[in-house]
Amino acid sequence: MKSRRTTKAARALRAVQAFLAAAVLAAGLLAGAPPASAAGLVQVTGFGSNPGNLTMYSYVPAGLPAGKPLVVALHGCTQTAADYYNNSGWAQLADRWGFALVLPQTGAANNALSCFSWFDSSKDSRGGGEALSVKQMVDKAVAAYGSDPSRIYVTGLSAGAGMAADLLADYPDVFAGGSIASGLPAQCATTQSAAAGCQNGSRNLTPAQWGDKVRAADPGRTGPWPRVAIWHGTADTTVAPVNATELRDQWTDVWGIGQTASATQSLPGGTTLSVYNDSTGRPAVQLYSVSGMGHGLPVAPGSGTANCGQTGAYFLNTLCSSYWTGLFWGLDGGTGGTPGTLPAPAGLAVTATTDSTAALAWNAVPGAASYTVYRNGTRAGSATGTAYTDTGLTAGTGYAYTVAAVDASGTTGAASAAVTATTTGGSTYPATCWTDNNYQQVAAGRAHQSGGYAYANGSNQNMGLWNLFVTHTLKETSAGYYVLADGGCTP
């Protein structure tokens, strides 16, 4: 006769297997869609003894100088490094802000559903298994790309997020910060049979007990500690939302700060940001709770400054978590911290164009001291009023603009929706316009793809990821020369 303990463990194991089987069914919803390009990914070999039997992929923007940050991104169950590269938005931000990406990949040889083993103490602990394999990838990338060893970060989704939390605890001397999306506290479970208890409800531990799990992962460590972003949907039925609270408890305790937020803020996508500052007043832990979101990584496709990522199985259209996490870590060149509290300006419109200028106007934002204008995602200039004229542009060319309010302290708020201004002149060619997804624009010869992104032929304007989820209007202004014209196209 089986013991009560054995029966209970068997039930827990079956619960985990059922959850993973459901994940496979959900992933199957993408069947029939053309695969997104992973052309920008490069497999890297010879990165060490690799005790965790992982595969290393990397993406390094062309011409990236030494001394830039490095982000390690871990996929979820049933996913691959290419899935995370294509959909999470991190590759777009690497191009925009300038940093290298490492994307570890596990497979069926390690776990039947290609999950990182966040629940196995033989694989997720310092100095061994998958954890050591990831550390060896970091060492390889620092040597190969000249990455700044003081600015290395790790992020992940679901099982990848559980492993990211473990890595932050295992190697606080390596990672300056982390981001855990729909994940679990560090070292929550030590066996697969115990994993269901973490996923499905509270473990009823105090903040100090959670913090002890981090401190025990690297004995003798007294700090400094990584700065941690936590993302979770309130409607997640795969990994219970209480895990976000327990993550908050764990990392605030490690930092020696309380569990009462220093500040709260409303962000797009029904997201509430709770900030927990360290003793110097700088954010150490940030908790992003996404109202009504299920299990997945928040993304927000589009051309605005705060947009990135693509939707798909477990990539959910709310707001771009990678963008907000990057701001928290200071990847945009800032010091990192709480995004500005000012809302996005409304009513942004193109009021006039010439062959070399584009005039913009927008509605005032209460409390704004000035406004920053972005052209194609890069800062173009600033204004103290609600109008701006961009100069030095190319005739017959489309430009995407957004604007953000700046408060008296110099903190920039949320960016507006994008508008497209197309300069006049350039050609008397009888222009023709096409609106289609990027995949078909490339197939028709109006654009080309490189590194997984589509670029308009002629103007070489970046159109976003090369797949069916991104749609643009292209205008042919001369034979074989195409410009973005999303704001309107008159042949």
Radius of gyration of the chain from its Cα atoms, rounded to whole angstroms? 23
Dist. CA 119–CA 26, nearest whole Å: 22
Q: Which of 114, 117, 133, 158 is catalytic?
A: 158
- Annotation says 370 is catalytic: no
Q: Which residues are catalytic?
A: 158
